[in-house]
Structure 1
């Protein structure tokens, strides 16, 4: 099933909507700034929290913790320096380790496990700035895969901003 993530940028608040292929809104990603840690809340259309995503600030690697129902379900980290191997490391509570592979510069990448593609993330077909598709192959893990895609996209945006502010 295809999901669409549309970002809306505001002065002190950032939000994104996740829609299904029929353009029905499913989740809202609220980013809360002005905190020691950057947090995102994924909420459904009724305002119920589905997940909390917390970015740890003072770390060598970008590290994001995903919690559902108050329990950690995943950890995503981006290696600051990489000669070989994957740039992102995704560990889930159930023991699975996911791979993020593809063209990260153009935001065309897959989320994989054990040689199988679980989701494909693409900005290719969208003329709208800050919109991308998440094609999920297994609906059972759809919410978690959408969260991972949002986290990876956020880390890539942060890194892009850091390059320009350090000039």
Structure 2
């Protein structure tokens, strides 16, 4: 199980992903002044293992994950999903994953062909402003953690845009 701080998205924030005993597993470097909402994921020694960035030209929110300098996946919001938010983790080939559930409140699952491969929840922890990610054996942990972070970027961006729109309406 991994633990991620819930509220890490002030511009340029860095934070750590730990295991359930508090040991550092990954460090996440939020790039200051990045137009592409970029995160660099590093091992405990500071070596880059993955990155996540927003694609600027896309019809819907889309984030690219690179692992080892190679494109590993795209995370994008599904269109036309009544009653619940869904994101697809588009992998090369036919092995795509889906994130569905209460994405904004960190209570959701990651599935492949209807089989749960990971779950995200705040309920498992007593640590305030944190949530846990459980990933099934045999899955690519870095890829799934990067996808969870891409979802964080997307939902935070959506919240920021809603806030800006609300402020503009109040100013008018």
TM-score range, shorter chain: 0.7 to 0.9
For residues 28-56 of structure 1, give each alpha carbon's deviation from its aligned partner in whole angstroms, at most 9, with x where no partner exists: 11111313322110001100000011112
Matches within 5 A, 1:1-167: 2-6=1-5, 9=8, 12-79=11-78, 81-84=79-82, 87-124=86-123, 125-129=125-129, 131-167=130-166
Give the TM-score, by structure 2 length.
0.84
**Contact (CA 8 Å) 2:110, 2:116: kept in 1 or not?**
yes
For residues 103-158 of structure 1, give each alpha carbon's deviation from its aligned partner in whole angstroms, at most 9, with x where no partner exists: 223220000001211111012344522x2100112254222111111111221121
Please give the secondary structure, in 1, of the residue aligned with 2:140. Answer: helix
Give 1:60 deviation, angstroms. 2.9
Structure 1, 53-62 or 70-79: larger mean CA deviation: 53-62
Give the TM-score, by structure 1 length.
0.86
Give 1:57 deviation, angstroms. 2.9
Give 1:61 deviation, angstroms. 1.1
**Contact (CA 8 Å) 1:126, 1:132: kept in 2 or not?**
no
The structure where strand makes up a greater share of residues is: 1
For residues 69-120 of structure 1, give each alpha carbon's deviation from its aligned partner in whole angstroms, at most 9, with x where no partner exists: 22101001124x5254863121112531111111223220000001211111
The number of aligned residues is 164
Match of 2:170 in 1: none
Q: Which has the larger radius of gyration?
A: 2
**Contact (CA 8 Å) 2:85, 2:103: kept in 1 or not?**
no
Please give the secondary structure, in 2, of the residue aligned with 1:38. Answer: coil
Q: Cα gap change, 1:64/1:27 in structure 2, threshold over 3 Å: closer, same or farther?
A: same
CA RMSD of aligned residues (A): 2.2
**Contact (CA 8 Å) 1:7, 1:15: kept in 2 or not?**
no
Gapped regions of structure 1 (runs ≥ 5): none
Larger RCO of the pair (alpha carbons < 8 Å, separation 6+): 2
